[in-house]
Structure 1
Amino acid sequence: MTASLIKPRIGLLGTGPWAAGTQAPALAAHPGVDFAGVWGRRPEAAAALAAAHGTTPYDDVDALFAACDAVAIALPPDVQAPLAVRAAEAGCHLLLDKPLATTVTGAREVVRAAEKAGVASVIFCTLRFATGTREWIAEQAAADGWFTAHARWLGALYSPGADSPYAASPWRGEKGALWDVGPHALSVLLPVLGDVTSTTAAAGLGDTAHLVLRHTSGATSTVTLSLSAPAASAGATVELLGAAGVAELPAWGGGTESFGTAVDALLHAVRTGESHPCDAAFGLRLTEILTEAESQLRR
């Protein structure tokens, strides 16, 4: 993708609920890109999703890479990582989903491939791009004197009576809330409080994980994550406490709009050569933190 390309060509890898409900509509509606095609592990699903948005289905993922300047990926993390490496090697810029991978080795390989190929990358951590929260995060990061923070992300994906299509996701069932919604919480805390210097983790009911983190600023934070909470208690919040008082994460916009902003961020990184703060290297750091927490939960 070059600065001279008015409408860069972006392909989509993935055909599941997230791809169909968020990424494909956002790419089709974005005025600054050409939604160039869809590849999926199920060719019939790729054909249906491509037809719904007036683009081309691909049976061969390498053919999609060759036809595109960038790719957006909506696949399980450990399927995403090796395909992202191949896309980077083919010269495609990367719009990636969180988590980047569930192994440090897998995440590191993506970072190395992107650096070697000189391609830009953005990790779609929703709150970093959503209207309301992206401005709020920047404002809190610019403030001094934060003492502590509390993040709570409780989903009811696996509670009785839940009917979310994401409940059928094998990787979510295996890895749980730590890996699915943990990146959301960390993507807010790290820009404000600094990188994590120590992690303590304890398990709760179901897939619930409790984390206590120390940050480079000296502040500490607590994080509670679950996909098996009762429906009546589900919800997400981040609360910061410090010299300026208490600041609470505001409501945020929808996923399609937020993904469109992530596309803008990737285009800006490509055209300026400036790395986005929420890039593959940030995704690697999230994987390192979550891997440490997971190892403690297993012990």
Structure 2
Amino acid sequence: MSPSPPAGAPVRAGAPVRAAAPVRVGLVGAGPWARATHARILAAGPETELVAVWARRTEAAREVAEPYGARAAASYDELLDTCEAVAFAVPPAVQAGLAVRAALAGRALLLEKPLGPDVPAARAVADAVAEAGVVSQLVLTKRYHPATRDFLRAAAELKITGARSCYLHGAFLGGDFATAWRLEHGALLDLGPHLLDLLDEAVAPITSVRGTGDARRWIELTCEHENGAVSQASLSGAVNLPKARTRLELFGPEAELVYDTAPLDHEECWPVLRSEFATAVRTGRPPTLDASRGLRLQQLLAQALPR
């Protein structure tokens, strides 16, 4: 087996590399999502190794990095020099610019949703990925759960005429995840990518979407699909619930099909996500949930903004 690429070597889609060594990943961000999820998952291996963390405050980066034996990079350029892939756990406006730099430096990207704060920023990321020929993958968490994949396979066998869905929680009411960008943009940018992705995949490609309400309180989306179906999506991060609620109900001439995350253990998602990202990096074959998918979702989000 050939060795893995040296630190700083570009990892390009379509250039297979067989290696026993884990993918060396640098993490951007030291906030609650980086601490609770990204660092822990990337360090758990065996497919990936967390080698460095960079954040605006070096001390914060050190606090995230040291428990996993990683280093706190003094600059973003230093982070890029130490890794072959970059994972992002920062606000969309920050991610977009840094992701373009990483892609053009030949690094694979593990991207949060949404790609950026708006369509031009998201397109810049997708274009940079395409230009550089690097692997990219979106952290659409639920898509990596076996139950979600079972649901989507079952949905593909149905004739669907309508759908109802919701993604609701109370994280914006206070706590670690009531962050500035989420409070500013609300549930549409934070939760919308998850639900629109599932509806777009389960029902049929969305041709139009319009939103009503206030994304910082409650927003309702109406989607029209290529197959003529119509779907509704309710989004809020500011409702008091005992736990987050994500549910899709698909209707048509056959029995309804329901997807509900209430009984699911999200810990089952992370090993799948990590393994598939590492496989994509090592083989050079981009996954389906890549930056171009992120751009597609960003375009739907833009359509959904209440006028």
Report if TM-score (shorter chain) is over 0.5.
Answer: yes
Structure showing the higher helix proportion among its residues: 1
2:273 pairs, out of 242, 252, 262, with 262
CA contact (8 A) 1:136 1:250 kept: no
Q: Supply the AA of the counterpart residue of 1:155.
A: H
Shift of 1:144: 3.0
2:286 pairs, out of 270, 275, 279, with 275
Q: Supply the AA of the counterpart residue of 2:56.
A: R
Matches within 5 A, 1:83-232: 83-140=98-155, 142-159=156-173, 163-167=174-178, 169-203=179-213, 207-231=217-241
Work out the CA distance in 1 between the residues paired with 2:230 and 2:190: 22
Secondary structure class of the residue paired with 1:224: strand
Identify the residue that residue 250 of structure 2 maps to in structure 1: 240
Work out the CA distance in 2 between the residues paired with 1:276 and 1:14: 24
Shift of 1:231: 2.8
Secondary structure class of the residue paired with 1:262: helix
Q: Deviations over 1:175-232 (max 9, x none)?
A: 0011111111112111122221111211059521101001112211100001112336
Shift of 1:267: 2.4
Q: Supply the AA of the counterpart residue of 1:109.
A: A
2:86 pairs, out of 54, 57, 71, with 71
Q: Supply the AA of the counterpart residue of 1:37.
A: A
Q: Supply the AA of the counterpart residue of 1:222.
A: Q
Secondary structure class of the residue paired with 1:231: coil
Secondary structure class of the residue paired with 2:177: helix
Q: Deviations over 1:95-126 (max 9, x none)?
A: 10111112111000111111111101111111
Q: Supply the AA of the counterpart residue of 1:224.
A: S
Q: Supply the AA of the counterpart residue of 2:97.
A: P
TM-score by length of 1: 0.91
Identify the residue that residue 59 of structure 1 maps to in structure 2: 74
CA contact (8 A) 1:97 1:123 kept: yes
Identify the residue that residue 286 of structure 1 maps to in structure 2: 297
- Cα 1:253–1:41 change in 2 (3 A) is farther
Q: Supply the AA of the counterpart residue of 2:195.
A: A
Shift of 1:257: 4.2
2:29 pairs, out of 3, 14, 17, with 14
Q: Supply the AA of the counterpart residue of 1:264.
A: S
Q: Supply the AA of the counterpart residue of 2:167.
A: W
Is there any run of 5+ residues in structure 1 with no aligned partner, and where? none
Work out the CA distance in 2 between the residues paired with 1:204 and 1:113: 33
Secondary structure class of the residue paired with 1:240: strand
Shift of 1:233: 8.8
Q: 17-26 or 126-135, which moves further after superposition? A: 126-135
Secondary structure class of the residue paired with 2:161: strand
Work out the CA distance in 2 between the residues paired with 1:248 and 1:262: 24
Matched residues, percent identical? 36
Secondary structure class of the residue paired with 2:280: helix
TM-score by length of 2: 0.89
Identify the residue that residue 3 of structure 2 maps to in structure 1: none
Is there any run of 5+ residues in structure 2 with no aligned partner, and where? 1-10
Work out the CA distance in 1 between the residues paired with 2:39 and 2:267: 9
Work out the CA distance in 2 between the residues paired with 1:116 and 1:263: 24
Shift of 1:13: 0.8
CA contact (8 A) 1:131 1:253 kept: no
Q: 97-106 or 130-139, which moves further after superposition? A: 130-139
CA contact (8 A) 1:66 1:90 kept: no
Work out the CA distance in 2 between the residues paired with 1:247 and 1:144: 9
Work out the CA distance in 1 between the residues paired with 2:170 and 2:77: 38
Work out the CA distance in 1 between the residues paired with 2:219 and 2:276: 31
Q: Deviations over 1:238-263 (max 9, x none)?
A: 11112331111143655554233222
Q: Supply the AA of the counterpart residue of 2:299.
A: E
CA contact (8 A) 2:188 2:215 kept: no
